[in-house]
Structure 1
Amino acid sequence: MSQEKELKLAVLIDADNVPYSNVKGMMEEIAKYGTPTTKRIYADWTKPNANGWKSVLLEHAITPIQQYSYTVGKNSSDSALIIDAMDLLYSDKLDGFCIVSSDSDFTRLAIRLRESGMKVIGIGEKKTPSAFIAACDRFVFIEVLDGAIKKTRAIASSRNKPPKQAAAPAPSSKKPAEPANNETAQPKETANKIDNQTIELIEDTLDAIGDEDGWAFLGDVGNLIVKKKPEFDPRNYGFSKLTPMLKSLTDILEIDERESDKKGIKHVFVRLRYS
């Protein structure tokens, strides 16, 4: 993202279909892709189930849009969000949209925005229908953001804890244990199992863009994978970045870190391991 221009984004939140508990993580994620110049959230604010959102709106400068439910069982907030999105589209002041919802009703909206040249980023729960996910340029699961924040807090907490005083060993006839390493243990990323479908996606991508020797620039690999599968995210597999995720696949991949023109910066290339 650092080599792309800073996108001006409209953030439109469907309060009825996403939890409010991790709004901070959502806004931090959106900031990776651009500047949210417009932030609106849609709900019937007279209902008690919207109370959780009320406490975080001011902190993040999100404008609440009131939409009464005229019919029982119908979500009128969806229509209001779609109408506003089309108004913003024709304002010619934006480069993209971030739709925060787990509702498939926004699938056609995402497609229409992309047809108009807009970048569309979706954020929702893992229960989000695949049609809406595929309609976005990029889709991020809220559960991943929540897990990343908890993991960061746990690491920070473990670093800040004072070392425990070792208790005096009790006399014993047993052989003493080997002395522990005095070096401070560094937190390691724990990976979930990478499924065969994802491995095939990585292999197909490398086949498509690799040079004559099979090498492909890591940035190009990541971009093409996301185009093929908008919900792809190394955090879904327990990795913070794509590089450590691919390094874990040493049985099928080779990694080559090459020096760049800028001191201290390396370009990472990857290819399939030849048998």
Structure 2
Amino acid sequence: MENNLAVLIDGDNIPSAYVKEMMEEIAKYGNPTIKRIYGDWTKPQLGKWKSILLENAINPIQQYGYTQGKNATDSAMIIDAMDILYSEKVDGFCLVSSDSDFTRLATRLREAGMKVIGIGEKKTPDPFIVACDKFIYIEILKNDSKEQETEVVKGGKPSTKKNEVDKITPKVIKLISTTISDVADEDGWAFLGDVGSLLQKKQPNFDSRNYGFQKLTPMINSINKFEIESRENQNGRFKLIYVRNL
């Protein structure tokens, strides 16, 4: 049975250009039965959202800024999240924001047994990231066709702007290595699915796409410190990937 998800978007904190890719990503984890975005829709800077909301069936929630310097959007989103939690209509939440103010909300939802997926920009503070079961950087969600954007520079000549990817550091290699050891059998082999699941628990923002790889297997294969073996499952219908430290 597919999980029902409540998708709550902080309209003041997320660029509208990523919505299509974001909704496609969310669909991998469940059925987004509730889709709401919060903001003061009287502000001209939120105008870009209007056509996108119709295309993606996202319900805009009007929230006026009552006090200068205070974020009323956060409060409205948190109150709605708790109402949805107690309605028992969903199995999990997707909180879309780069704001650490939602850290306590993510923690509270997980305490109630909800799966919490966070989506935000790379500037998102660590406390919010680690409060989620999984955190996805919105920058990696652009389709392959959009990974290179052409922009006009001085002189009228186009230049190619590539999405930045993180480097695979010794710290990342150690994380993968220790995780393999944690789930390995007596011969040192670990099922890659178990490795990926434990990596996610240890570091919610771990994602091979952050490093320029669509899947974990080619990422691990590129490091040259691990051995990869493909095995047939019992009925031979598909391959199982196993990995061990060299």
State TM-score, norm by structure 2: 0.91
Q: Compared with structure 1, are the counterparts of its residues 61 and 108 closer, same or farther at alpha carbon in structure 2 (3 Å cutoff)?
A: same
Aligned-pair distance for 1:7? 1.1
Say whether the 8 Å CA contact 1:126–1:143 is kept in structure 2.
yes
Cα deviations by residue, 1:225-252 (Å, 9 ceiling, x for unpaired) = 01000001100100000011111122x1
Cα deviations by residue, 1:251-274 (Å, 9 ceiling, x for unpaired) = x1000100113444100000001x
State the distance in 2 between where 1:43 and 1:264 align.
49
SS of equivalent residue, structure 1 residue 211: coil
Structure 1: 4+ residue segments shifted above 3 A: 151-154
Aligned-pair distance for 1:150? 1.8
Matches within 5 A, 1:111-190: 111-146=107-142, 148=144, 150-151=146-147
1:54 corresponds in structure 2 to: 50
Say whether the 8 Å CA contact 1:137–1:227 is kept in structure 2.
yes
How many residues of Structure 1 are paired with residues of Structure 2 in the alignment? 233
State the distance in 1 between where 2:132 and 2:42 align.
31
SS of equivalent residue, structure 1 residue 12: strand
Say whether the 8 Å CA contact 1:148–1:235 is kept in structure 2.
no
State the distance in 2 between where 1:130 and 1:254 align.
32
State the distance in 1 between where 2:210 and 2:144 align.
10
Say whether the 8 Å CA contact 2:21–2:143 is kept in structure 1.
no
SS of equivalent residue, structure 1 residue 32: coil
1:254 corresponds in structure 2 to: 227
Matches within 5 A, 1:73-84: 73-84=69-80
1:213 corresponds in structure 2 to: 187
Instruction: State whether structure 2 residue 20 is matched by structure 1 residue 24.
Output: yes
SS of equivalent residue, structure 2 residue 37: strand
1:86 corresponds in structure 2 to: 82
Q: Which runs of 5+ in 1 are unaligned?
A: 155-190
Q: Which amino acid aligns with 2:117?
A: I
State the distance in 1 between where 2:41 and 2:114 align.
30
1:198 corresponds in structure 2 to: 172
Aligned-pair distance for 1:215? 0.5
1:241 aligns with one of 203, 215, 221: 215
Q: Compared with structure 1, are the counterparts of its residues 6 and 67 closer, same or farther at alpha carbon in structure 2 (3 Å cutoff)?
A: same
Cα deviations by residue, 1:26-79 (Å, 9 ceiling, x for unpaired) = 000000100000000000000111111112000000000000000112110100
Say whether the 8 Å CA contact 1:215–1:269 is kept in structure 2.
yes
SS of equivalent residue, structure 1 residue 36: strand
Larger Rg: 1
State the distance in 1 between where 2:245 and 2:133 align.
26
Q: Which runs of 5+ in 2 are unaligned?
A: 151-164
Say whether the 8 Å CA contact 1:205–1:225 is kept in structure 2.
yes
Aligned-pair distance for 1:87? 0.3
State the distance in 2 between where 1:265 and 1:106 align.
41
Q: Which amino acid aligns with 1:260?
A: N
State the distance in 1 between where 2:169 and 2:111 align.
32
Say whether the 8 Å CA contact 1:222–1:242 is kept in structure 2.
yes
State the distance in 2 between where 1:16 and 1:103 align.
10
Query: Between the two proteins, what is the percent identity of the paired residues?
Result: 63
Please say which of residues 116-125 and 68-77 is displaced more in the overlay.
68-77
